[in-house]
């Protein structure tokens, strides 16, 4: 079962039971049915998963507040695993601000999310964290890091995006993720979670079928592509790949 709880402005929470056939939806904001969603986990006897949509800003604390509200709502409705999008932590105004706002995995912001996972007693997929890696001093570049936390707040897996999005956008000029971001060195093996074995990827990775094939062959039951596509790049990627 799939449904949506809307949260203005520009955020919503969807809940689903993995393993069920989900009808194709023509628009993301279908009529919200929170009562049906709360019941769905018991009726289908499958774990309940929440997918949260937010519009991030450069204000990291406000973004955390927004995400935390959605995570707590998902926990209240019985979700065991919550997915947050790419750039859930922030979206900066320019590359220099992106680098300035980035943090290491051991920084303050991720610690807040580990406490949130413990508080709510659920797993968190943090879909694209602007990570200052161990090579930050040498490279002055970051990683686009998909972090998976368990219900005790421990980091159980990290995947650093391997396919960076360097494209020419009609009418907007070039977008070069590689100017500020390093590609990750390897894939992460699928991780066993209460909802099944999860394969970690990020955004532009979806254009490369070898990655999803490798994860599936390694036992992944759920493939994840948390994304922060724009108004031009979104339709250019999501519609051709998933239509």
Report yes or no: 103 and 132 within 8 Å, Cβ to Cβ: yes
Which of 52, 80, 120, 203 is catalytic? The answer is 203
Instruction: Tell me what pLDDT residue 204 has.
Output: 84
* Residue 124 CA to its chain's centroid (Å): 9
- Can 161 be counted among the known catalytic residues? yes
How confident is the chain (243 residues) per 10-residue block, as mean pLDDT?
39 60 33 34 72 95 97 96 96 94 98 98 97 96 98 98 82 78 95 97 91 96 88 65 60
Task: Please report where in the chains the tokens 């990570």 appear, as a residue.
Answer: 131
Which entry of 52, 80, 86, 188 is annotated as an active-site residue?
Answer: 86
Residue 86 is a catalytic residue: yes
**Known catalytic residue: 69?**
no
**Buried/exposed code over 123-144 (b: 16+ C-beta within 10 A; e: otherwise):** bbbbbbbbbbbeebeeeebbbb
The pLDDT of residue 196 is 96
How far apart are alpha carbons 88 and 67 in whole angstroms?
8
**Identified catalytic residue from 161, 165, 177, 188:** 161
pLDDT value for 228: 85
**Residues contacting 228, CB < 8 A, separation 6+:** 56, 85, 86, 87, 91, 128, 203
User: Residue 161 to residues 75, 131, 184, 225, 236: CA-CA distances in angstroms?
Assistant: 28, 11, 5, 10, 19
CA distance linking residue 114 with residue 189, whole number of Å? 21
């Amino acid at each position: 079962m799939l449904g949506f709880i809307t949260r203005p402005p520009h955020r919503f929470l969807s809940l689903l039971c993995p393993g069920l056939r989900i009808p194709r939806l023509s628009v993301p904001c279908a009529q919200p049915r929170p009562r049906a969603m709360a019941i769905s986990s018991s009726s289908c006897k499958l774990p309940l998963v929440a997918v949260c949509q937010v519009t991030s800003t450069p204000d990291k604390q406000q973004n955390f507040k927004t995400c935390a509200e959605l995570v707590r709502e998902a926990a209240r409705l019985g979700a065991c695993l919550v997915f947050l999008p790419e750039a859930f932590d922030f979206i900066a105004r320019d590359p220099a601000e992106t680098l300035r706002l980035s943090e290491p995995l051991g920084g303050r912001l991720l610690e807040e999310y580990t406490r949130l996972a413990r508080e709510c007693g659920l797993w968190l997929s943090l879909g694209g964290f602007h990570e200052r890696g161990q090579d930050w001093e040498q490279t002055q570049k970051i990683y686009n890091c998909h972090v998976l936390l368990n219900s005790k707040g421990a980091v159980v897996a990290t995947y650093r995006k391997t396919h960076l999005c360097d494209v020419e956008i009609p009418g907007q000029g070039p977008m070069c993720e590689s100017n500020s971001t390093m590609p990750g060195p390897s894939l992460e093996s699928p991780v066993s979670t209460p909802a099944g074995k999860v394969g970690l990827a990020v955004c532009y990775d979806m254009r490369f079928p070898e990655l999803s094939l490798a994860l599936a062959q390694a036992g992944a039951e759920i493939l994840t592509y948390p994304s922060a596509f724009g108004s031009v790049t979104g339709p250019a990627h999501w519609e051709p790949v998933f239509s």
